[in-house]
Chains A and B, each alone.
Chain A
Amino acid sequence: MSDLQSPTSAAAGKATDDAPTTSTAGANAPSAPTGTGRSFLPQSTLPRHLVVLVLSAVLAVVLLEVSSPYQNSQIATLSYYAIAAGGLTVLTGMNGQISLGHGALMAAGAYTTALFLDADEPLPLPVILLAAIVVATVVGALVGVAAARLHGPYLAGATLALAVGLPGLAIYFHDIFGGEQGMRVRAPQAPDAFESFVQTVSGNNASSTKWLAYVGVICLLITYFFLANLVRSRIGRTWRAVRDQEVAAELAGINLGAWRVLAFVVSAAAAGLAGGVLAIVVRLAAPSGFTLVLSLALLTAIVIGGLGSLLGALLGSALLVFLPPFVTNLGSDFGLNGTEAAQLAPFVYGVVLIVAMIFAPAGFVGTIRLRRMTAKARRGSAAQAKAAGANGG
């Protein structure tokens, strides 16, 4: 593995064994290479991200309007996976902390949303989703304080206990949370403006599925816009410093613990929003929806996409949505019955995690960026050698 990763380690500087740099350096390469002149996007971070945000929003509207209702609901599913995976990739990829408890944090957001929507006069949806974020953030801060002192397997085990333990609370307080059956969620009504918007854009029928897909996509775009800016800011740089070189970061005056907690809090906020979107899309908040497999699926998404890359998290989440129907069909074709075929998806997640970690720890996005960086470096050194040869002759 070391020879596979040698170009990165050289590029990223020497790193400790603890830091997942070998798997993240490629994904963390600057997304807009400076000075190549090929990029048409603005050089400065905020305008660049704004341009990308507007382009993505237009693309999303087009996608939602040309796709079928079933695909609309798939996009809604994709949006909550991607929001949670985006938060997790900030935590794991940027800050080097692993969390298997994001399913539980999503549960916190989902139950909050369900409780608020259950009121006779529900608050406006953005307020409810904000409440979901706040609750998940508080839970995340509590976990983060404990997690900041842990690393690697200790952290994985502690968050694993969280993922297994927290749904138990929903069963214990079954008067509030509905026990094993969970809470049915009343889907929020689409505003009239939405109907006229869809009418003007495409003339399609503004169904409630479509409205939920729009809600999901809007949340997704806002989250990724925030996270992308955060990652490119001083905060993101500090996180990477904490991840790569604990001692050097501490010498530079960085309070390791506080920054780790902050990473966990930001990540938990994203998970809370994802939980809120999940609740209104699935219309159910139940312990069975937040199993360990959900947390591990999120981990699969960010690992296969490329740890530390938001684009990778998005691609990985797309895999979580579009792969299961595909492999389930494949399994049925090979003569498995329904329940057996349904297990093929987690099986593939597991195999993908193993294979990705052994053969391409930088993930999909990271591996491609690595290739590009290596090729560029090779061209650069070839040019240098040429120049040196000309000087010598």
Chain B
Amino acid sequence: MDYFVNVTITGLTQGIIYSAFALALVLIWRSTRIVNFAQGSMAAATTFIALALIQAGQSYWVALVVALVSGFVLGALVERVIIRPVEGGPELNAVIVTLGLFVAIQALIAIIFGSSFQSFPTPFGVRGFQVGGSTIPLTPTSLYVIGSVLITMALLVALFRFTRVGLAMRASAFSQEVARLLGVKVGGMLTLGWGLAAVVGSLSGLLIAGGGFVYPAYMDSLIVFGFVAAIIGGLDSPVGAIVGGLILGLALSYVNGYVERGSALVSVAALVILIVVLLVRPGGLFSSTTARRA
């Protein structure tokens, strides 16, 4: 029973990071109908910026802020310079462009920061709390992870619900033409959306790196998990992305914890879950839209 609880807690902690990453994908999908496959590399880039600052003697928090800000700048820049020309074009073109960005940024990281494994610090301890004489895998770090994702989500909800900018962003995502007619600067809103999504993506990159090792391709599995989580949720629904991330985190944690040598099977399990969801409910579990045609 204890083991089950431990595996569950680990799954939820991992899952909430997948949620954050899936949320970043959903934010971009809602505004521009593009799945940003470069999200992982962009997050890895900001994580390496943070790592460079920490190694230069700055505190974790300074590095965190700089990483998030540079994430925003990177996201906005990518949208303006690279994505804008393919927006609204054939969907395959946009997919290929984000894939190109994915490889290019990852290789650039390896060129600038080297491709060796480097440990990434965490601001809090990684020893589990003691409950009734036994150690549970709930650590101060996992509390920090869960807390920061929840705060980020609350801020996003507040932005979209209670501010004029959020309203304008929702309007441009809903219908670009109508929003433009009503005086919304749709282009600016799309750039802002990409920037915000990149901030959320960077945060998940920093959180998954905390207490572990980073290398240029360390986000490769997270981009898959984030995508699977977003698909479970329907790719269109922020709430779905969060729930999808938690479901996926739990499922993968059980595979890892209960199948012998299951760690090798985690990616395979994600693939199976993805295929099953797509075959049974292609629109995801939380889809609000009906099936699209042509």
Chain A residues near B (Cβ < 8 Å):
1-2, 16-23, 92, 96, 98, 100, 146, 149-154, 156-158, 160-162, 164-166, 168-169, 171-172, 245-247, 292-293, 296, 299-300, 303, 336, 339-340, 343-347, 349-354, 357-358, 361
State the Cβ distance, B226 to closest chain A Cβ, in Å: 10
CA distance A353 to B82 in the complex (A): 11
Contact A146 B275 (CB under 8 A): yes
The smallest beta-carbon distance between B215 and chain A, in angstroms, is 12
Chain B neighbourhood of A151, CB < 8 A:
91
- CB pairs A–B below 8 angstroms (14 shown): A17-B89, A18-B90, A150-B282, A156-B35, A157-B37, A158-B278, A160-B224, A161-B224, A169-B265, A171-B264, A245-B294, A300-B100, A339-B110, A353-B97
Which of A19, A158, A339, A349 is the one whose CB lies under 8 Å from B90? A19
Shortest Cβ gap from A141 to chain B (Å): 13
**B95 interface neighbour in A22, A156, A350, Cβ under 8 Å:** A156
Q: Which residue of A lies closest to B277 (CB)?
A: A158
B92 at the interface (CB under 8 A from A): yes
| Interface flag for B209 (CB, 8 Å) | no
Contact B114 A339 (CB under 8 A): yes
Cβ A353 vs Cβ B103 within 8 A: yes
CB-CB < 8 A to B274: which residues of A?
A: 157-158, 161
Say whether A1 contacts B86, CB under 8 Å: yes
Partner of B89, one of A1, A246, A293: A1
Known A343-B115, A353-B96, A353-B103: A172·B220 in contact at CB below 8 Å: no
Residues on B with beta carbons closer than 8 Å to the beta carbon of A21: 90
Grouping DSSP codes into helix (H, G, I), strand (E, B) and loop, the B interface class, with mixed when no group exceeds half, is helix
Q: Establish whether residues B268 and A169, one from each chain, have CB atoms under 8 Å apart when the complex forms.
A: yes
With A1-B85, A157-B274, A354-B104 already in contact, 5 other A-B pairs whose C-beta atoms are closer than 8 Å: A150-B278, A161-B267, A349-B100, A350-B103, A358-B82
CB distance from A323 to the nearest CB of B (A): 13
Which of chain A's residues have a CB closer than 8 A to the CB of B275?
A: 146, 158
Give Cα A247–Cα B221 distance, bound, in whole angstroms: 36
Identity of the chain A residue whose Cβ is nearest the Cβ of B293 in the assembled complex: A247
- From B112, which residue of chain A is reached at the shortest CB distance? A340
Could you mark each residue 246-286 of chain B with 1 if its beta carbon is under 8 Å from any beta carbon of chain A, else 0? 00000000000000010011111011001100110010000
The DSSP consensus for interface residues of chain A is helix
Partner of B93, one of A158, A293, A336, A357: A357
- The A-B contact count (CB < 8 A) is 180
Assess the A346–B107 pair: CB atoms within 8 A: yes
- Interface size grouping (class) on chain B: 35 or more
Determine if A353 and B99 form an interchain contact, defined as CB atoms under 8 angstroms apart: yes
Note all chain B residues with C-beta closer than 8 A to A157: 35, 37, 224, 227-228, 231, 274
- A346 neighbours in B (Cβ, 8 Å): 103-104, 106-107
Q: Smallest Cβ distance from B63 to chain A, in angstroms? A: 24
> B110 contacts which chain A residues (CB < 8 A)?
339-340, 343
Taking CB atoms, residues of chain B closer than 8 Å to A354 are 82, 97, 100-101, 104
